[in-house]
Amino acid sequence: MFIGHFGVGLGAKSVAPKVSLGSLFFAAQLLDLLWSTFLLLGVERVRIVPGATVVTPLIFEHYPFSHSLIAALGLACLVGGIHFLLKRKAVAAFVLALLVISHWLLDLLVHQPDLPLFPGSGTVLGLNAWSSLPLTLTIEGSLFALGVWLYSRTTTHNDAVGRWGFVVLVAFLIGIYAGNLFGAPPPGSEAIAWVGQMQWLLVLWGYWIDKHRHVSARA
């Protein structure tokens, strides 16, 4: 899943309006940010098999440190705990922790059975919504649309950066997603890892536009 995670990050602004969109993106995508780092380090592995699923050619061979259930729970506690220690805001810390876990749950919905319970676990889970393109588009499209609607309802732009930076971000995410779905398969796992690293820029983009928007009076 790609765009759905960003949808959840955008939507979370409505329940934690004081938390920057950059932090919300970071929490929602933390598992994939780590995954692309672990791919580069050779700690985790992915294989490209065109036609592996209707939606993605990726076979997630080994990713227990970024995508096991226990890793997601541990990272959620870490992110929520650090936020609470720094800011003393319990609700915001809880929302960030939930966002980390939401990534695993949404991946569970779409992935083939490949998500381990813990490193070394023989049990792998996945409900395989990726076996159907219409189902995948419905899930991810509605999550993203809901997130965009909630974020734009919760915040108002201060200036042109806040307005157009947000519009361009939404268009950019849709463009990347369309490229993933309908473009050529990636040339190799290293290319996937580097593209994954580029998602740090989306986190920074989130911080940037959030600085140029404020929480609406009605939120």
Which residues form the interface with Zn ion (CB under 5 A)?
A: 31-32, 107
Cβ proximity to Zn ion: between 60 and 166 the closer is: 60
32 or 44: CB nearest Zn ion? 32
Closer residue to Zn ion, CB minimum distance, 63 or 205:
63
Q: Using the minimum distance from each CB to Zn ion, give the nearer residue, 30 or 148.
A: 30
Least gap, CB of 7 to Zn ion (angstroms):
14
Nearest approach in angstroms of CB 111 to Zn ion is 8
Residue 43, φ and ψ in degrees, nearest 5:
-80, -30
**What dihedral do alpha carbons 103, 106, 110, 114 form, nearest 10°?**
50
Would you say 124 or 215 has its CB closer to Zn ion?
124
CA distance 79 to 98: 10
Taking the complex as a whole, the smallest distance from the CB of residue 46 to Zn ion amounts, in Å, to 11
Of 154 and 199, the one with the shorter C-beta distance to Zn ion is: 199
Q: CB of residue 67 vs Zn ion: minimum separation in angstroms?
A: 6
List residues bridging with 156 in a β-sheet.
214
Distance CA 136, CA 97 (A): 25
Give backbone dihedrals phi and psi of 30, rounded to 5 degrees, phi first: -55, -40
